[in-house]
Amino acid sequence: MPNAPEVEAAYDAVPEEQIAEIIDGELHVQPGQHLLHCLAKTRLIQQLVPLPSRHGEPDGWVLLSNPVLHFGPRPDKLQPDLAGWRRERMPEIPDVEALTLTPDWICEVLWPETYPRERARKIRVYRREGVAHLWLVSPRDRMAEVYQLTSEGYLQVEVYEGDVCERIAPFHEIELDLGALWTW
């Protein structure tokens, strides 16, 4: 197994069009994103835009696509598909390449190439770091799994399938059209 400096050097050498992450000291690289993956992310963020997010609104959200997150002592370097912070916890977006502030919500759009890593290793890191809300969205399966962090770990709150419209934690203020995530 490569040592930490070798892993860091390899991470830094990954071309920008690829997604690189370090999880448990191991480098994981994937090519760009599949078009259905991009569609699901884009459609979800479009639906979340009506959430309050303007500067000075303490109840709003800061939503980012593909933010680089550095967690833990190693550190783990993750790049979730979508992440959100309550505005009260992130009143200003820092001018940095990577964030260390734990998101309040993370959404991973699952794809066969990333499914095992996102279902196991990344979820352990998110749990360790205290991400309160986790969504796993599968465009191929037309399904969204919603989890909430408890003292025992993640509790699956709900599984939504197909073309449904729902108010889903932590975004109860708006109704989301999940069918739009996987329908052209």
| Whole-number pLDDT of residue 123 | 92
**Helix, strand or coil, per DSSP, at residue 100:** coil
**Rounded Cα distance, 139 and 129, in Å:** 27
| Whole-number pLDDT of residue 55 | 53
Its pTM stands at 0.85
| Whole-number pLDDT of residue 7 | 84
| Whole-number pLDDT of residue 54 | 52
| Whole-number pLDDT of residue 67 | 94
Domain ranges in the chain are: 32-181
Q: Are strands 26-30 and 133-138 parallel, antiparallel or unpaired?
A: unpaired
Average pLDDT, 10 consecutive residues per value, the chain (184 residues): 76 79 80 77 88 61 92 87 93 91 95 71 92 95 96 96 95 93 83
| Whole-number pLDDT of residue 147 | 97
CA distances from 63 to 46, 57, 73, 142 (A): 11, 14, 25, 23
| Whole-number pLDDT of residue 72 | 83
| Whole-number pLDDT of residue 22 | 78
| Whole-number pLDDT of residue 98 | 92
CATH code linked to domain 32-181: 3.90.1570.10
| Whole-number pLDDT of residue 73 | 78
Question: Quick one: how far is CA 21 from the chain centroid?
Answer: 13
